[in-house]
Structure 1
Amino acid sequence: MGLHREPRRRAGHGGGRLRDPVRLGPGSQGRRSPRRSHRGGTGDTAGGAGDERPFGRGAGRRRSRPRAGHAELPIEVGKDTLTLVPDAGLLKQKDESAYPVYIDPTVTWGETDRTLLRSDGYKSYNWGNGSNNQGEGVGHCGTWNGYYCGPGYTQRLYFQFSPASLKGKQVLSAAFRITEPWAFQCDPRWVDLVRTNNFTSSTTWSGRPKELDWMVDRNVSAGRGSACDPDEPTAPIEFKDNPEETNENLTPTVKDFAAGKFSKLTLELRAHDEGDTSAWKRFRNDAVLVVDYVGMPGVPTGVGLVTGSGTVCETKESAPAVVSDPTPTMATIPQTLAGGESGAMLRGAFYVQKKNATGPGRRPSPRSSGRRPGTWATT
């Protein structure tokens, strides 16, 4: 007899979790709505006052084996509605082992450090949102179409994250979320999220972190309100891998981060075209990572055969537990690794092995297929 862990069911990558922000306007431009997953995360700065003069309306218009079931659930966003489309195939499986179906838990946490770097040498470590709550900008701040932003510098924002919140968790999907309260014009412009080397409080533009890998891009505009048609209010912008763009790899990067392959995750927010002043936009200092996960299984407790006085479990072949019931009840208490407890939905699965008559034998993995004299045969 042996025991192995069975991953809980989950309900879809990006579409089945009902906690996503509903972006009814600017947040949904240039990208399909995020998909959910189910199975079977002060003070003004120099140059901020008086820049970016706004202009008015019209100015710029697998499926796996049942015990590891997984499905992609799209969210359809209408003007006033949010529709979750269930995966009928996952919910109609006849194999009892495919149930129950769970929605993945989520962990969200903010950055430990942030900094602003500017091509004219100005920097602002742990910058604030300012008295107008407009945050700080990314892109080229110059003059465009007669409208003035600034004297012509380029600016980028950096965010550094700790892996502490990922302890004991297996990452299923990841997203970077931040609020955009202002854009230079109504038409969307591309913004890139890039992984870089780490920074410190003394890092400057001339020694700015090296760009290591492009994560995700978004084509968005938010924060101009009624100056646009339709309105473009302040909105949370979510950067998440698009399945149709195989070069986007935020989730694999966060998986590596959780696995301890690097000690800090530093992400850079920048305009894709840093020569285009019309792409200038602002973001608040509320950046977070949002991770869907499953608690990683630990060593179970309470394993054994149910008897009248509790459970019995013998680990020595020379002194086995003897039961007369041909259909005994087995019990266990699934456990997660430290850090994966919150929202965990694990269940144990038993397998039974019959020892062949000859030879001393040994017990292989339940997934082993060969049977030799003196070995354990899974039944």
Structure 2
Amino acid sequence: MYRWGLSNFSGSMTRRAISATCALTAGVLGWLAVAPGSHAPAAAVANVADSRSAVQQAADSGAPVEVLQKRTEDSKTLANPDGTFTLEQSAVPVRKKKDGQWVDLDPTLARGQDGLIRPKATAVDMVFSSGGTGPLVVLDSDDRKLKLTWPTALPTPTVQSDSLTYPSVYPGVDLRISVTKESFSEVLIVHTRQAAQLPELQQVQLALDAPGLQMRRTAGGTVEAVDNFGEAVFSAPKPAMWDSSGDGDLQPPSADRTEEPLEGDSVATMPVAVTQNSLTVTPVRSLIDDPATVYPLHVDPPFTGVRVARSMINEHYPTTSSWGWGGDEGVGYQSYEPWSRKRLLFGFSVGQIAGADVQSAVFSAYETWSASCTPKVVEVWKVAKFTDATTWSNGSGSGIWKQKLSYATAAHGRDGCDPGGYWVPFAVPTAVDEVVSAHGSTVYLGMRASSETDELAWKRFRYDVKLSVTYNYPPTIVDPHTKDPYTACVTTSASDPVIGDNTPIPVVSIVDPDTTDDGQHVWADFEMRRAVDQSPFFTYTTAAKKGGSGIYFEPPPEAVAHQPLWSNTTYVWRARAHDGVTTSPWSTGCLFYVDTTKPLAPIITVEPVASSYPMNQPVTIRLSPNGETDLTRYGYAINDDAPGPNSLSLSAASFTTTPSAFGTWSVSAWSYDQAGNQSAQRTTVLRVQGTDPVGRWPMDEGSGVFTADEGSGKHGMNLSPQATWEEGNHGASEGDHSVYLHGLQTSGDTTATAASNIIDTSQNFTVAARVKLDIKSNRQVIVSEDQPGRSSFALGTSEMTWTGRDGSEPEDQSDRWVKWNFTVSTSNGPVTAETDFVNYRAGDWAHVVGVFDRSTRDLKIYVNGIQQQKKEGGTALSTKIPVRTSVVDGTGPFRTGFGIDNSAVNYWFRGLVEDVNIYDGLIGDDAIQALALGNN
């Protein structure tokens, strides 16, 4: 008899077919998945589509909730109230998707409208012949088909529940098909010794058709149909044949010899040959012809599913593999002839939870028979990987049986001790955790009797064992770094970062596959210590947050600032994560070195070396260290006290600047070390040559009745005896002075040059002065040049207003509003440029500039370096006042302190004056701003 199915030989081999006649079995099974399960699944309160919802519902309800999206044909995943998950696997498929919905497997057979016979729902779709010459069976797995066709026309079968029988396919021979949830077997039952001599039974050959699949025979003797990627789609273990000599009392009354041998049946394996178009098995003549053979005889050329990972080894058949056995099988020793000593092997896939932390793992096997009701010990072991070539000879020693994991003292399955059988649990967390932690894919377990010589310890177990694993993915620390300042985590002292702050904040992100927006909460512990210490001086535990991607944890700044770090010291910090179930290991220590010592300012070298530099000509500035060895870069600024974005590397520490204004041009520089510390500022001042003034009077003498011209040196200015000296805008301590003019016509205090007509006011010219106004409201002239009848130009104020008193105390100082003006004399009379009221705070200095541009024929006024505008009717008007006629050149002396109008001296100035400049040309806005800043 030949059998294609999901079993090997048992009892003597398999237990899938035996009856009281001689039979040949042939069974083709879909590939059976290794699918873990649990012996007592927790009741789920709901089925939900995603783990986020399941976690939340489980926490809210206090009961496990199934995660529907993780359901498979042979497993399901439950979210538990404590935040863990439980994976429940069955060794065989228990459900399948049909029309997009999960349905429980049901092997009950029925005829369809096309007359063919099909089970309601099986792991692999199957279609059986209703008689005739068509295929005996068609297997379909994801549109990949395998067909087996009987060599002769088949009679109409009788159908009973999950089996069908084709009577008298040969004289005295029936063909029986048995269907399970995941596979099927076919058995030829040869009822008499005479029938066994039929020529058709000397070698049984079935036609085979597997489009797109390649048929092959493995080293272990199984047959496989593989796809283009070499993956097995269907497989068949070695075929077996057995007689009916065994004792049914050694296993449950429900045992069916037409599916597998009973204990004590004589069993023999058969040669099998496969081509792309046929499968041939040859019965063993010695068993057929043996006078002791009890008929019926069964011959089994099986096909099994590739997902099978179970085997039985039997010392009575030490070189025979019983891969993929079905039904139930024995464990231990029984002495009924032929005697047997058996062990069972199972494999479970756990790759889907690789890396998880296993909280518990329970392997469950359903005991169907016990030799007595006296409980005896059965053990579960961690075993090495086994294959279809594993036998008692090569699979019963310590090379396969690695470690005893658990045991149970039990007796179930017969009258007086749970006659219906019972699930027996075994705790196996060690073996499962070892594989899962190593990101392995399969856990291999074995069952054996504690005593393999005690006949009363004989037991039988069903093949649909289960594995239940409760797990939690441990949280892990990622992206450890510090902030304020930022440094990446460095674990070796040779490259640890140097920071210039003694309160850096350690930061980590926590990744936990179990956490979602509605899932577990996670939090972190931090420790920090000096590298030379063993114990931390700083510890902190953060508050818990709902997990998710990109969630960071850190101590608050005040916690870190409470214990500032020492300079010139190496520190190490680490963190670990919690999710309420598992605590991660401490992260690898992150090192950093604290250096808060500021470096010295760099040395500034100007090339070429000169006492002054022409305007608008480039100058090279070179920076070099001042004895520092740990610098990383330089910063620099022009006419500023902050470096801004200007940066130079040590290897290219030079830059070029082009002074665009005359006077002083400051170059400042800073050094930065590897900790980011900034040095003090170092500044070099360049004297920039520009448009030389005709006269420049800083008025810094501080005494006497004369102030020198430091521009051309030709136009010294005499002071009246009433004028007095006071400090200038930079203070007398800096050598800066000014002249105070009383502004009273009767006192006559003023200044005037000894020479006349020092500039031609009919051409371009610029005049500037720095003043501090004293209380006075009428028009005043700061500087002017004489000509008969009126001044050729005058720079001063038109009008002043103020509030409060004007005194020396701070509370006496008040805001003022000033209109500034600049007047030139033309052939048609004076033309004046005047500002709107400009705010002026009493006691402050103001720098005022008047410009006559002959080319554009207009006047401009600048106050404190800013060109002023005037509004009329809400419209902003430039103070570039047009001069439509010729400007008259003055011929008299250049004066400070009054003007001439209608041939009379008037508009006396009251206040302080200094930094008076006059140019016989135009100077640019940059130069005017430089003058306003005091860069003369």
TM-score range, shorter chain: 0.5 to 0.7
Which residue matches 2:313? 117
Q: Select which of 312, 322, 346 maps to 1:159.
A: 346
Q: Which of 105, 121, 129 is the matching residue for 2:85?
A: 105
Alignment of 1:122-137 (within 5 A): 122-129=320-327, 135-137=328-330
Q: 1:251 aligns with which of 429, 435, 446?
A: 429
Displacement, 1:238?
Answer: 0.4
C-alpha distance in structure 2 between counterparts of 1:138 and 1:366, whole Å? 50
Separation in structure 2 between the aligned mates of residue 299 and residue 364 of structure 1, nearest angstrom: 13
Query: In terms of Rg, which structure is larger?
Result: 2
Correspondence for 2:385:
198
- 1:348 — aligned with what? 523
SS at match of 1:181: strand
Cα deviation digits, residues 155-185 of structure 1 (max 9, x gap): 1110123330331311112221111122222
Q: Show the counterpart of 2:768.
A: none
Contact 1:138/1:281 (8 A) holds in 2: yes
Which amino acid letter does the alignment assign opposite residue 416 of structure 2?
Answer: C
SS at structure 2 position matched to 1:252:
helix
In structure 2, what is the equivalent of residue 364 of structure 1? 573
Using the TM superposition, give the Cα deviation of residue 43 of structure 1 relative to its aligned residue in structure 2, in angstroms: 5.9
8 Å contact kept, 1:294–1:344: no
Output the amino acid matched with 1:235: Y
Aligned partners of 1:179 and 1:235 also within 8 Å: yes
- State TM-score, norm by structure 1: 0.52
Q: Deviations over 1:32-67 (max 9, x none)?
A: xxxxxxxxxx568454458xxxxxxxxxxxxxxxxx
Corresponding residue to 1:141 among 324, 334, 351? 334
Q: Distance in 2 between matches of 1:202 and 1:318?
A: 59
- CA-to-aligned-CA distance 1:82-119 (integer Å, 9 cap, x gap): xxxxxxxxxxxxxxxxxxx8263211234561101111
Q: State the secondary structure of the residue aligned to 2:433.
A: helix
Checking the alignment, whether the CA contact within 8 Å between 2:356 and 2:471 is kept in structure 1 is yes
1:297 aligns with 2:462: no
The 1:126–1:295 alpha-carbon spacing in structure 2 relative to 1, beyond 3 Å, is same
Q: SS of the counterpart of 2:432?
A: helix
- For the residue of structure 2 that corresponds to 1:255, the secondary structure is helix
Aligned counterpart, 2:416? 228
1:354, distance to aligned residue in structure 2 (A): 1.1
Secondary structure of the 2:339 match is strand
**CA–CA distance in 2 between the matches of 1:238 and 1:300?**
39
Q: Give unmatched runs, 5+ long, in structure 2.
A: 1-5, 20-80, 92-307, 488-507, 525-541, 543-553, 577-585, 587-592, 596-936
Contact 1:188/1:220 (8 A) holds in 2: yes
- Whichever residue aligns with residue 312 of structure 2, its letter is L
Q: Secondary structure at the match of 2:385?
A: coil
Inter-partner Cα distance in structure 2 for 1:238 and 1:286:
13
CA positional deviation for 1:347: 2.1
Q: Give the corresponding residue for 1:287.
A: 465
The SS at the match of 2:358 is strand
Whether contact under 8 Å (1:108, 1:291) holds in the other structure is: yes
- Deviations for 1:6-28, whole angstroms, at most 9, x for unmatched residues? xxxxxxxxxxxxxxxxxxxxxxx
**Alignment map for 1:7-156 (pairs within 5 Å):** 42=6, 45-47=9-11, 48=15, 49=18, 102=82, 104-110=84-90, 113-121=309-317, 122-129=320-327, 135-143=328-336, 150-156=337-343
- Give the match's secondary structure for 2:338: strand
Secondary structure of the corresponding residue to residue 389 of structure 2: coil
Give the aligned partner of residue 27 of structure 1.
Answer: none
* Residue 189 (str. 1) matches residue 376 (str. 2): yes
Distance 1:274 1:228 in 2: 24
Residue 314 (structure 1) shift: 8.9
Could you list the per-position Cα deviations for residues 303-359 of structure 1 after superposition, in whole angstroms to 9, with x for gaps in the alignment?
Answer: 9xxxxxxxxx9945169xxxxxxxxxxxx996424xx56996342342524141652
Structure 1, unpaired ranges of 5+: 1-41, 51-100, 130-134, 144-149, 241-249, 304-312, 320-331
Cα distance in 2 for residues equivalent to 1:163 and 1:294: 14
1:161 is paired with a residue whose SS is strand
Deviation digits for residues 183-212 of structure 1 (CA, Å, limit 9, x no counterpart): 222221110111222211111211115321
Matched residue SS, 1:177? strand
SS at structure 2 position matched to 1:296: coil
In the alignment, residue 108 of structure 1 is paired with which amino acid? Answer: E
**Residues 314/192 of structure 1: CA separation in 2 closer, same or farther (3 Å cut):** closer
Name the CA shift for 1:366/1:281 in 2 (closer, same or farther; >3 Å): closer
User: Larger RCO: Structure 1 or Structure 2 (Cα < 8 Å, ≥ 6 residues apart)?
Assistant: 1
Q: Are residues 1:336 and 2:524 paired?
A: no
Instruction: Report the residue type matching 1:125 in the other structure.
Output: W
- Tell me the CA shift for residue 259 of structure 1: 2.0
Counterparts in 2 of 1:374 and 1:213: CA distance versus 1, 3 Å: same
Over 3 Å counting, the alpha-carbon distance change for 1:341 and 1:202 in structure 2 is farther
- Provide the rounded CA distance (Å) in 2 between the counterparts of 1:298 and 1:193: 33
Distance 1:215 1:110 in 2: 20
Is the 1:181–1:233 contact (alpha carbons within 8 Å) kept by the matching residues of 2? yes
Q: Which amino acid aligns with 1:354?
A: V
- The 5 A counterparts of 1:167-186 are 167-186=354-373
Q: Give how far 1:152 is off.
A: 1.2
Identity of aligned residues (%): 24
Q: Check whether the contact 2:311–2:321 (CA below 8 A) recurs between aligned residues.
A: yes
> Which letter does structure 2 place at the counterpart of 1:199?
F
Evaluate the alpha carbon distance shift between residue 359 and residue 237 of structure 1 in structure 2; reply closer, same or farther with a 3 A threshold: same
- Number of aligned residue pairs: give it: 235
Q: How far apart, CA to CA, are the structure 1 residues paired with 2:456 and 2:486?
A: 79
In structure 2, the CA distance between the partners of 1:364 and 1:124, relative to structure 1 (3 Å rule), is same
Letter in 2 for 1:288: K
